[in-house]
């Protein structure tokens, strides 16, 4: 019964969305004096693009892209870095920051003394993480467009796709954070993030892997976003693109529901 109550609390009602927006506003005000923290997240994918995409890309040349057609290496890497920056922004916001608010700052204890529910807290924090990731995505997309790494009008949907990816990762990351016991447990988060970043088709096609490993990588969430955004930027879309969207939506909704349930248990003891 408790699970059904938590699920009910997280349903995006009009009133719940309004209350969640107040938490987003609170986070925005909190970053007024620390806006450089947000701005700094833009540079990491840019440095990777310049050093790997164009630096190493000058030696690599063209490689197989979506649909098997050859594309410049920088064009292959750029959409993956857009996806990775959205993932990193979402995970950073919904792990470190949420863990601190939950266990040390006790922000949510104060929030729940208002009419806000655990579901509103989940929606607000995930919504803020999506805004932060979208800012990274907009900045990076502007750069790759200026560099001539956009080949299709479908690329206009690359930033919304990155926002969807951030929704999926922020919801699951926040859910996992509710089980973390201390700062040492963040090593486990990094243990998941780094292999996904390196091996999810970010820097080379997954066709280079053995069949069994290729199937496993294709099921990882970052690969879903990388392949979706790469298809949009190059204009090569197929039924798999729809499956990627469905995967990320389902991942986000499941994570959101789990967060509401966990916060209900942790904060209403």
pLDDT digits (tens, 9 = 90+) for 206-222: 888 898 899 999 999 99
Would you say residue 56 has pLDDT above 50? yes
What gap in Å lies between CA 127 and CA 60, rounded to an integer? 39
pLDDT per residue as tens digits for the range 135-186: 888 888 988 998 888 888 999 999 999 999 999 999 999 999 999 888 888 8
Of the candidate ranges 75-84, 115-124, 236-245, the one whose mean pLDDT is the lowest: 115-124
Residue 67 CB neighbour total at 10 angstroms: 12
Strand partners, 64: 70
Its pTM stands at: 0.87
pLDDT band (50, 70, 90) for residue 126: very high
Whether 75 contacts 92, CB under 8 Å: no
pLDDT at residue 243 in the model: 96
> What letter does residue 31 receive in the DSSP assignment?
T
pLDDT at residue 221 in the model: 94
pLDDT band (50, 70, 90) for residue 51: confident
Q: Which two tokens stand for residue 183?
A: 């700062």
Q: Which two tokens stand for residue 25?
A: 């506003």
Query: Residue 209, SS3?
Result: coil
pLDDT band (50, 70, 90) for residue 269: low
Whether 161 contacts 148, CB under 8 Å: no
What gap in Å lies between CA 98 and CA 107, rounded to an integer? 9
Would you say residue 2 has pLDDT above 60? no
């Amino acid at each position: 019964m408790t699970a059904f109550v938590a699920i009910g609390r997280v349903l995006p009602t009009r009133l719940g969305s309004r209350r969640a927006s107040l938490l987003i506003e609170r986070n925005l005000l909190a970053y007024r004096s620390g806006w450089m923290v947000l701005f700094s997240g833009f540079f990491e994918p840019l440095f990777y693009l310049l050093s790997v995409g164009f630096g190493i890309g000058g030696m690599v040349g063209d490689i197989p892209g979506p649909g098997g057609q050859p594309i410049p290496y920088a064009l292959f890497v750029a959409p993956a870095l857009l996806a990775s920056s959205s993932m990193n922004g979402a995970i950073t916001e919904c792990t470190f920051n949420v863990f601190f608010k939950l266990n040390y700052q006790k922000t949510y204890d104060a929030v729940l003394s208002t009419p806000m529910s655990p579901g509103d807290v989940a929606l607000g924090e995930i919504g803020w993480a999506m805004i932060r990731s979208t800012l990274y995505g907009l900045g990076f997309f502007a750069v790759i467009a200026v560099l001539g790494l956009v080949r299709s009008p479908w690329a206009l949907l690359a930033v919304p796709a990155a926002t969807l990816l951030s929704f999926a990762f922020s919801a699951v990351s926040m859910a996992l954070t509710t089980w973390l016991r201390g700062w040492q447990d963040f090593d486990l988060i990094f243990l998941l993030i780094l292999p996904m970043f390196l091996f999810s088709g970010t820097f080379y096609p997954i066709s280079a892997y053995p069949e069994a490993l290729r199937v496993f990588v294709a099921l990882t969430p970052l690969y879903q976003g990388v392949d979706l955004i790469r298809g949009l930027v190059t204009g090569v879309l197929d039924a798999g693109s729809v499956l990627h969207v469905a995967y990320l939506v389902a991942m986000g909704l499941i994570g959101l529901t789990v967060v509401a349930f966990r916060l209900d248990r942790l904060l209403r003891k």
